[in-house]
Amino acid sequence: MIIVKLMGGLGNQMFQYAFGRFLSLKNETELKFDISWFSKSNYSRKYMLNIFNIEEKFANNREINRLKYKIKLPFVNNLLKKITKDNILFKKCYFNEKKFNFNANLSIIKLNNAYFEGYWQSEKYFIDIKDIIKKDFIIKIKPDKKIVKFLNKIKNEDSVSIHVRRGDYITNPKTNKYHGVCPLEYYQKAVHIIGDKIKNPVYYIFSDDFESVKKEMKLDIKYKIFEGNNDYDDFRLMQNCRHHITANSSFSWWSAWLSEYNNKIVICPSKWFNETIDTGDLIPQDWIQI
DSSP string, 165-183: --THHHH-HHHHHHT----
Last residue of a domain, one of 91, 108, 132: 132
Residue 257 CA: distances (Å) to CA of 169, 228, 239, 252, 264? 22, 24, 8, 8, 10
84 & 212 share domain? no
The pLDDT value recorded for residue 170 is 53
pLDDT given at position 258: 98
Task: Clarify whether residues 225 and 148 are in a common domain.
Answer: yes
Note down the domain range covering 24: 2-132
With respect to residue 279, please indicate whether it lies within any of the assigned structural domains: yes
Query: Are residues 33 and 124 both part of a single domain?
Result: yes
- Residue-by-residue DSSP string for 190-214: HHHHHHHH-SS-EEEEEES-HHHHH
Same domain, 119 and 167: no
Q: Write down the pTM of the prediction.
A: 0.88
Burial 205-227 (b: 16+ CB within 10 A, else e): bbbbbbeebeeebeeeeebebbe
**Of the candidates 121, 139, 172, which has an alpha carbon nearest to the alpha carbon of residue 7?**
121
Residue 147: give its domain's CATH number.
3.40.50.11350
122 three-state secondary structure: coil
Residues 126 and 192 in one domain: no
Is 224 within a domain? yes
Q: Are residues 108 and 160 in the same domain?
A: no
| Tens-level pLDDT at each residue, the chain (290 residues) | 999 999 999 999 999 999 999 999 999 999 999 999 999 876 778 999 999 999 999 999 999 998 886 544 455 445 545 544 444 444 558 999 989 999 998 877 777 789 999 999 999 999 999 999 999 999 999 999 999 999 999 999 999 999 998 765 555 556 555 557 899 999 999 999 999 999 999 999 999 887 888 888 889 899 998 887 899 999 999 999 999 999 999 999 999 999 999 999 999 999 888 777 888 999 999 999 99
Q: Is residue 47 domain-shared with residue 119, that is, in the same domain?
A: yes
Predicted confidence at residue 86, as pLDDT, reads 43
The terminus-to-terminus CA distance of the chain in angstroms comes to 41
Domain end, chosen from 107, 132, 157, is at: 132
One domain for residues 22 and 122? yes
Residue 63 contacts residue 150 (beta carbons within 8 Å): no
Q: What confidence score (pLDDT) does residue 84 get? A: 46
Residue where a domain stops, chosen among 69, 103, 132? 132
Q: Do 172 and 241 fall into the same domain?
A: yes
pLDDT for residue 92:
59
pLDDT of residue 171: 52
Backbone Cα Rg of the chain: 21
d(CA 68, CA 78): 18
Whether 138 maps to a domain, the answer reads no
Task: Assess whether 78 and 119 both reside in one domain.
Answer: yes
Residue 83 within any structural domain of the chain: yes
Q: State the total domains in the chain.
A: 2
